[in-house]
A = this chain, B = another copy of it.
Amino acid sequence: PRGTVDLLATWGWREKVELAVEYAAETGEATYDVESLDRYAPVTDPAKVVCVGLNYADHADEGGFEAPDAPVLFSKFPTALTGPEAAIEWDPALTEAVDYEGELVAVIGDRARNVAPEDALDHVAGYTVGNDVSARDLQLADEQWVRGKSLDTFGPLGPDIVTPEEIPDLGDLDVWTEVNGERLQESNTRHLVFGIDELVSFCSRAFTLEPGDVIYTGTPDGVGYFRDPQVLLEDGDSVTVGVEGVGELHNPCAHTDR
């Protein structure tokens, strides 16, 4: 397999990965010092980037929305995805209101079609950290959110996929975002309106989730656009999103002229 999507689509991928890790640990072959590597997003070119809106009640409230009765799904185009340390880039002639959204992201491991919430987590390969970067001016003017959420580089993801057994309690993970070292979002997955099990089940009622599909599960309160005073990302800023036990995702920000 040449990428994570292909790997996850391979029969018996869990066992094969375990064997590969075991072999690498025993023989020292194909092991690298993580500091010496360029890191990319742990999933590239997934067939779907599903995003969930307003999935923390405090975030819905800060934007003047009611917490929803059912998950609000939207999407990013997969060309938006980028990896750790890669620049979040935008042309200031296109958008002047770029915002961060720190999120826990689920990566689908096995095809899911019409699965019940109690079976849903069996279809998740693992979890990573995402920043649902948003051009608020485009998002709000369009009303449909996909364009403002899909600028190239507006989907930082990573650094790692952490498997479910490494996470003691998915419903109790701190989530935070820092801009230039200042903590601007701070919450916990216990405040999710819809848990990961419900989200996977809900999606799978409408459409087939495939290996490698990613689900950005929503952001807590504290996004920049609704702060007073407002915080918008600027050329040269540094953004870090963290999820307890899953990792920290850091990206610089840069203007481009395209």
Give the B-binding residues of A (Cβ under 8 A). 45, 47-48, 50, 53, 70, 72-75, 77-80, 94, 113-114, 138, 141-147, 150-152, 205-208, 210, 258
Other 9 A-B pairs with CB < 8 A, given A72-B144, A114-B258: A48-B79, A50-B77, A53-B144, A70-B141, A70-B142, A72-B142, A73-B146, A146-B146, A150-B207
In the complex, A47 Cα to B49 Cα: how many Å? 10
24 residue pairs of the A-B complex, CB under 8 angstroms, read A47-B78, A48-B79, A53-B144, A70-B141, A70-B142, A72-B143, A72-B144, A73-B144, A73-B147, A74-B146, A79-B207, A79-B208, A79-B210, A80-B207, A94-B206, A113-B258, A114-B258, A144-B144, A144-B145, A147-B207, A150-B207, A151-B206, A152-B207, A152-B208
Q: Which residues of B contact A53 (CB under 8 A)?
A: 144
User: Of the candidates B48, B94, B205, which one forms a contact with A78 in the assembled complex, judged by CB atoms under 8 Å apart?
Assistant: B48
Q: Shortest CB–CB separation between residue A101 and chain B, in angstroms?
A: 15
Contact B94 A77 (CB under 8 A): no
User: Of the candidates B73, B77, B205, B258, which one forms a contact with A47 in the assembled complex, judged by CB atoms under 8 Å apart?
Assistant: B77
Q: Which residues of B contact A207 (CB under 8 A)?
A: 77, 79-80, 147, 150-152
In the complex, A72 Cα to B147 Cα: how many Å? 9
Q: Which residues of B contact A47 (CB under 8 A)?
A: 45, 47, 77-79
In the complex, A45 Cα to B151 Cα: how many Å? 21
Q: Which residues of B contact A94 (CB under 8 A)?
A: 205-206
* Identity of the chain B residue whose Cβ is nearest the Cβ of A90 in the assembled complex: B206
* Identity of the chain B residue whose Cβ is nearest the Cβ of A77 in the assembled complex: B48
Q: Shortest CB–CB separation between residue A211 and chain B, in angstroms?
A: 12
* Identity of the chain B residue whose Cβ is nearest the Cβ of A143 in the assembled complex: B72
In the complex, A75 Cα to B78 Cα: how many Å? 12
Q: Shortest CB–CB separation between residue A40 and chain B, in angstroms?
A: 17
Q: Which residues of B contact A258 (CB under 8 A)?
A: 113-114
